[in-house]
C-alpha cells in the first residue's frame, strides 16, 4: 500500500451514505463551503470589472444573464442556504446544545448525539435550500 | 498483493451442520513484500449465530492458517478485533453474519491505522493519543490516608461520565472519523471522548491541564461533528456527544 498510515483520504467521503444523514450533511457542508469560496472569488472578479467602465461592466452583466449562469446562481443560492442553516445546527452542537445528556447506554446503543433534533435540522437545511433554489430559478427565468 | 485465489467449492475437513454458506472475502496484505492489498475468497458454512470472527477463524482452521487477525475475548470486551466489515468499522466478534443481510462478507483492516498484516493493525498512535490526555484522576491528595473514606459520588455525578468509561479502545471511532482520514496529527474521537470522561468526573481536578492539551489546531477544533464515531461505537460511548460537551467547556457554555 502506498499509504503507510492506511488513511482513507478524501475517497472516504465518496460514499457518505454508509454513515447516515449526518455524514451526508458533513459532506455537503464541505462541498458547499468550497463552492461558495469559488463563487466568492468569481464574484470579486465579476465586480472588479466595474473598473473597466460602463462598457466592461455591461459585458460582464451580459454573461450573467445566460441560462447557464442562472443555473449556477441557483446552485449558489442552494449552497448558501444549506451552508447557513446547517452551520447554525453544527454551531449549536459544538456548544453542546441539542446533543443529548450523558446516561448509561442500553443495547442497541443508539447514540443520543445523533438525535431527531439534529436530523430535523439537516432535513430542514436541505428543504430550505431546495425551496430557495426553486424561488431563485422562478425569479431568474420568470422575467 | 499478487495472489488472489478462490476455493469456494472446497469442503471443510469437519463439515458443520449448516445448510447455508457465504463467501468471505478477506483482505490480504503483508507490507514486508506486497505492493498493494488483494482479496482471497473462501466459502464458509454459517449458522444464524455465526459471527464474522468465527467465520475468519473457520478459514484459519480449514483453509489458510496464515490469515492474520487479532482477537482475544470474543465478547466485545477486549477491543482487539475491529475491522472494516462490508464497508463499515465493526467488531468481528460482535457482528453476526446473519445481520449483514448479504451472502458476500468483505473484511478489511481498519482505515486510519497502519497495517501490520492482513486484518491486524497497529494501535500505537491510538494508545499514544489516549495517554496524551492523561487518562487518570488528577488530584493533589492522590494517596488516601488510612482514616479517610473513598471519594464519594452521587448517582447523578456518576451518570455524567460512566457512559464514556465504557470505551474499550477498539479504534472503530478513529477508523470511521472523516477528519482522521485526512489529518495524521488529529488526536481523534477516542482520546477526546476520554478527555471528557475525566473532565466530567467530579473526583478529578485536572480539567484545566486537559483542556490545554486538546485546545490545539489538531485537537478538539478539528472535529466537525459528523457523528460517524458514535454510529460505529460497539459500546454506546457516543464520542461525538462527549466531544461537543467538552467543547462547551472551552467555549464557555459549561464550567
Q: What is the pLDDT of residues B49-103, one digit of tens each?
A: 999 999 999 999 999 999 999 999 999 999 999 999 999 999 999 999 999 999 9
Total count of domains within chain B:
2
Q: Is residue B204 part of a domain?
A: yes
> Do B135 and B242 share a domain, yes or no?
yes
Do B184 and B225 lie in a common domain? yes
Number of domains in chain A: 1
ipTM: 0.88
Beta-sheet pairing, B20-28 with B104-108: parallel
Residue at B3 is within a domain: no
Structural domain contains residue A42: no
For residue A15, which residues of chain B lie inside 8 Å, CB to CB? Answer: 87
B112 and B132 belong to one structural domain: no
CA distances from A111 to A10, A21, B236 (A): 25, 14, 6
Q: Domain limits at B41?
A: 20-121
Task: Indicate whether B96 and B148 sit together in one domain.
Answer: no
- Among candidate residues B68, B94, B121, the one where a domain is terminated: B121
Instruction: Output A19-22 pairs: Cβ under 8 A, ≥24 positions apart.
Output: A19/B88, A19/B176, A19/B226, A19/B227, A19/B228, A19/B231, A19/B232, A20/A114, A20/B227, A20/B231, A21/A119, A21/A122, A21/A123, A22/A114, A22/A118, A22/A119, A22/A122, A22/B225, A22/B226, A22/B227, A22/B228, A22/B231
Q: Which cell numbers in the block locate residue B129?
A: 493519543
pLDDT, tens digit only, all 255 positions of chain B: 434 444 444 444 444 455 699 999 999 999 999 989 999 999 999 999 999 999 999 999 999 999 999 999 999 999 999 999 999 999 999 999 999 999 999 999 999 999 999 999 999 999 999 999 999 999 877 666 767 777 889 999 999 999 999 999 999 999 999 999 999 899 999 999 999 999 999 999 999 999 999 999 999 999 999 999 999 999 999 999 999 999 999 988 877
Residues 6+ positions from B254 with CB-CB distance below 8 Å: A96, B245, B248
All residues of chain A having their beta carbon less than 8 Å from the beta carbon of residue B254 are 96
Q: Which residues on B lie below 8 Å from A104 (Cβ)?
A: 159, 162-163
Residue A138 domain-assigned (yes or no): yes
On whether both B116 and B129 belong to a single domain, the answer is: no
B237 to chain A, any CB pair closer than 8 A? The answer is yes
CATH code of the domain covering residue B234: 1.10.1060.10
8 Å CB contact of A105 and B247: no
**Interchain CB distance below 8 Å, B178 and A104:** no
B60 Cβ contact list (under 8 Å, min separation 6): B67, B69
Q: The domain containing residue A79 runs over which residues?
A: 19-33+67-97+110-142
CATH number for the domain including B32? 3.10.20.30
Amino acid at each position: 500500500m502506498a499509504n503507510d498510515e492506511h488513511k482513507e483520504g478524501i475517497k472516504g467521503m465518496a460514499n457518505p451514505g454508509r454513515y447516515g444523514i449526518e455524514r451526508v450533511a458533513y459532506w455537503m457542508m464541505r462541498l458547499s463551503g468550497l463552492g461558495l469560496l469559488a463563487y466568492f472569488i468569481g464574484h470579486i472578479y465579476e465586480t472588479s470589472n466595474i473598473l473597466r467602465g460602463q462598457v466592461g461592466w455591461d459585458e460582464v452583466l451580459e454573461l450573467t444573464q445566460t441560462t447557464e449562469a442562472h443555473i449556477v446562481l441557483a446552485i449558489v443560492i442552494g449552497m448558501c442556504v444549506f451552508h447557513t442553516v446547517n452551520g447554525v445546527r453544527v454551531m449549536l452542537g459544538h456548544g453542546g446544545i441539542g446533543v443529548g445528556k450523558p446516561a448509561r447506554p442500553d443495547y442497541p446503543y443508539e447514540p443520543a448525539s445523533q438525535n431527531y433534533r439534529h436530523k430535523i435540522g439537516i432535513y430542514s437545511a436541505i428543504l430550505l435550500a431546495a425551496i430557495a433554489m426553486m424561488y431563485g430559478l422562478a425569479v431568474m427565468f420568470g422575467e | 498483493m499478487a495472489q488472489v485465489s478462490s476455493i469456494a467449492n472446497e469442503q471443510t475437513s469437519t463439515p458443520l451442520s449448516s445448510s447455508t454458506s457465504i463467501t468471505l472475502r478477506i483482505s490480504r496484505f503483508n507490507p514486508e513484500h506486497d505492493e498493494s492489498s488483494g482479496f482471497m475468497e473462501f466459502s464458509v458454512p454459517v449458522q444464524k449465530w455465526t459471527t464474522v470472527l468465527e467465520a475468519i477463524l473457520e478459514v484459519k482452521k480449514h483453509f489458510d492458517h496464515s490469515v492474520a487477525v487479532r482477537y482475544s475475548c470474543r465478547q466485545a470486551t477486549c477491543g482487539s478485533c475491529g475491522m472494516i466489515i462490508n464497508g463499515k468499522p465493526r467488531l468481528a466478534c460482535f457482528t453476526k453474519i446473519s445481520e449483514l443481510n448479504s451472502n458476500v462478507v468483505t473484511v478489511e483492516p481498519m482505515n486510519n491505522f497502519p497495517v501490520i498484516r492482513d486484518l491486524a493493525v497497529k494501535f500505537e498512535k491510538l494508545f499514544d493519543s489516549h495517554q496524551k490526555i492523561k487518562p487518570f484522576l488528577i488530584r493533589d491528595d492522590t494517596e488516601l490516608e488510612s482514616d479517610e473514606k473513598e471519594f464519594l459520588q452521587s448517582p447523578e455525578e456518576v451518570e455524567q461520565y460512566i457512559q464514556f468509561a465504557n470505551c474499550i479502545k477498539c479504534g472503530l471511532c478513529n477508523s470511521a472519523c472523516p477528519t482522521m482520514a485526512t489529518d495524521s496529527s488529529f488526536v481523534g474521537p477516542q482520546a477526546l471522548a476520554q478527555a471528557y470522561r475525566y473532565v466530567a468526573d467530579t473526583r478529578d481536578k485536572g480539567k484545566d491541564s486537559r483542556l490545554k492539551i486538546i485546545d490545539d489546531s489538531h485537537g478538539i477544533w478539528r472535529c466537525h461533528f459528523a457523528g460517524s464515531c458514535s454510529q460505529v461505537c460497539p459500546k454506546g460511548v457516543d464520542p461525538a456527544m462527549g466531544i461537543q460537551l467538552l467543547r462547551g467547556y472551552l467555549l464557555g457554555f459549561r464550567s
